[in-house]
Chain A
Amino acid sequence: MTAADLAASRRDAGARDDARDGARRDSIRIDLQLIADMVAPGSRVLDVGCGDGMLLDYLVHFKGVDGRGIELSQDGVNACVTQGLSVIQGDADTDLRDYPSDAFDYVVLSQTLQATVNPRGVLHELVRIGRHAIVSFPNFGYWRVRAQLLLSGRMPRTHALLHDWYDTPNIHLCTITDFVDLAAHMQIAIERALTLDRTGTHVRERKGVLANLFGEQAVFLLSGRVPRR
């Protein structure tokens, strides 16, 4: 699922929640809930690619965080600020380098890593400006993805990968194993690793071969051992 899809689904979910619960959402999409559960109450959080602010709004109002957001789409930004959230228009690839080191307790990058131009550079910035980083992405090693490529001979399309090869914003897809390898190479510590299927009913704490085969999405809690700039 790309940032654009995600924004659309967040909007839909938000509209449904609004209709049901009044203005404030007290429940959010399962993958966002997993991220929220990793965040300590009252901490400082930067949500990179915050969409229309669903996660940020939840964190601010139910976990009392000092929350900020960066969002590429101006529509998303304006929607966030109109809700009273502190959000700027910006690009994960270019605008993270402005922030000082250790400016936040958590920096969240939800379903966006695979759409960045330089995922390694972005990861470096995440663990530099945050004491922790929380990164989620669709797993290209998921068995259905592998099976589609193997059996159909075509680029896979799944619930997490909605686009055709020629119009996808996902330019740097990876598997869970790929991600674990890169983290090790960059000396980034993996504090927690969760996988979930598309409905979110099977959440498991794992990052090995089985995670790579059966996890449709992954959520990692990271901390940087890289030297502070």
Chain B
Amino acid sequence: MNAPLGSAALGRVSTNPSLPEQLPGHHLDFPHDQPLRLDCGVDLAPFRLAYQTYGTLNAERSNAILVLHALTGDQYVAEPHPITGKPGWWDLMIGPGKPLDLERYFLICVNVLGGCMGTTGPRDVDPATGKPYGLSFPVITIADMVRAQVRVIDHLGIDQLFCVIGGSMGGMQVLQWVAAYPERVFAAVPIATAARHSAQNIAFHEVGRQAIMADPDWCNGDYLNAGKHPHRGLAVARMAAHITYLSEMSLHRKFGRNLQNRLSLSFGFDADFQVESYLRHQGSTFVERFDANSYLYITRAMDYFDLAAEHGGVLADAFRGTATRFCVVSFTSDWLFPTSESRALVHALNAVAANVSFVEIPTDRGHDAFLLEEPELWAVLGGFLNGCAEHRGLRRR
């Protein structure tokens, strides 16, 4: 199942000059007569889904793990990124002896709808106008992202995923998967996430969006037609967001009040402090690989996510009758998606007597901990997946 499965012959629709002509991985194209019905009421067609796979699907098609990426992630989970050349974003989690062992599991990761790494998003050409969508792209939701992923899973001929796993926005998609397609998920691992986006999190996203929209090069969302890129606004959005992914403790440990390449304060507004230099670097590297309008759309999808609201205000009703085995994970120093959010989720799962494990990993690295070297996280996930594999009858190859 590792051969390209998409219809590569249809050619690329992306207009982004920074995207390599041929992205590694697979894609699926859906023509006008196979639209995706979105929550906003729009039928999106045609559209493309870009995805990547690792490992081998077994004959029973029972060893597939769908990895769901976070806000600014993409499908390059376990290989160097085609633009930045950096290792896959979950490289640390994958390999022999790691929780996601490719000798045992077949990994799939789909670039989310509205994204900018091959899946249709606001920077792709609207066939109705022949110009990039920009703000005429329909607003998408977490549920829309999951509906799109279902198309890929169907295409691969997989009835039931062994596991869906993801952190942050990826965790929201995990919950949406289980709520919408309970019989298609054997095990679910929502990490550092929540069943709804909190007011504080919406507020941070709004700061990021306003930073982008305040950049004159944003051109009311039409920057691609104007031949411009709102890099400054997007960089500021990334800088603000990046602070929320860390913790005060980790920032202090990394940087303290250390000065950057100087012995004394400049009495100006250069990046005197290492932490300023670090954030500027985070901002400037981010804009090379991410589309500003995609950032608007995907943050909006997270803001709109409220699983309880879709089930009469009772979160437990989203999971009633579920046979899925859950492992809910939070981190002690994560203040963006704090443990209290995971605990609320666990309470809802208990209310329907779901099979749930819940661990809080002690770490001072904040929300980003799920992407970093956290041996206790790996041990817990490895143990959970092993237990599930035993129940599912999966053997090591």
Contact = CB atoms under 8 A, between A and B. Distances in A.
Interface residues of B, number: 27
B353 A99 contact: yes
A84 interface: yes
A95 B359 contact: no
A78 B353 contact: no
Interface in A71-130: 74, 77-78, 80-90, 95, 98-100, 103-104
A17 interface: no
Interface in B345-397: 346-347, 350-353, 355-362, 376, 379-380, 382-384, 386-388, 390
Interface string B322-342: 000101100000000000000
Nearest to A98: B350
B176 to A, nearest CB: 22
Contacts of B386: 84
A78 B355 contact: no
Nearest to B378: A82
Contact of A88 (B351, B358, B387, B388): B358
B387 A84 contact: yes
B355 A99 contact: no
B307 to A, nearest CB: 17
Contacts of A86: 325, 355-357, 387
A85 B386 CA distance: 10
B392 to A, nearest CB: 12
A74 B325 contact: no
Contacts of A89: 358-360
A109 to B, nearest CB: 16
A95 B357 contact: no
Contact of A84 (B350, B359, B360, B383): B383
A82 B382 contact: yes
A99 B358 contact: no
Nearest to A67: B355
Interface in A16-74: 66, 68, 74
Label chain A's interface by main secondary structure.
mixed
A33 B82 CA distance: 57
Given A81-B327, A98-B351, A88 B376 contact: no
Contact of A81 (B346, B362, B383, B390): B383
Contacts of A77: 357-359
B350 A99 contact: yes
A87 B328 CA distance: 10
A83 B352 CA distance: 24
B356 A82 contact: no
Nearest to B347: A98
A84 B390 contact: yes
A100 B321 CA distance: 12
B376 A78 contact: yes
B359 A78 contact: yes
Contacts of A84: 383-384, 386-388, 390
A100 B352 contact: yes
A76 B389 CA distance: 22
Contacts of A95: 347, 350
Nearest to A103: B353
A88 B325 contact: no
Contacts of A81: 327, 357, 359, 380, 383-384
Contacts of B351: 98-100
A66 B347 CA distance: 19
B354 to A, nearest CB: 9
Contacts of A100: 351-353
A74 B330 CA distance: 12
B362 A82 contact: no
B350, B355, B390 — most chain A CB neighbours (10 Å): B350
A83 B383 contact: yes
Contacts of A78: 359, 361, 376, 379-380
A88 B382 contact: no
A85 B387 CA distance: 7
A114 to B, nearest CB: 24
A126 B3 CA distance: 54
Contacts of A85: 357, 387
A90 B352 CA distance: 16
B355 A68 contact: yes
Interface string B52-68: 00000000000000000
Contact of B346 (A82, A83, A88, A103): A88
A132 to B, nearest CB: 16
Contacts of B356: 68, 86, 88
A66 B350 contact: no
Nearest to A77: B359
Contacts of B327: 81
A114 B347 CA distance: 25
Contacts of A90: 346, 358
B273 to A, nearest CB: 35
A97 B361 CA distance: 25
B380 A88 contact: no
A109 B79 CA distance: 48
Nearest to B379: A82
Closest 5 CB pairs of A and B: A84-B387, A82-B383, A88-B358, A103-B353, A98-B350
17 contacts: A66-B355, A74-B359, A74-B360, A74-B362, A80-B357, A81-B380, A82-B379, A85-B357, A86-B387, A88-B356, A89-B359, A90-B346, A99-B350, A99-B351, A100-B351, A100-B352, A103-B353
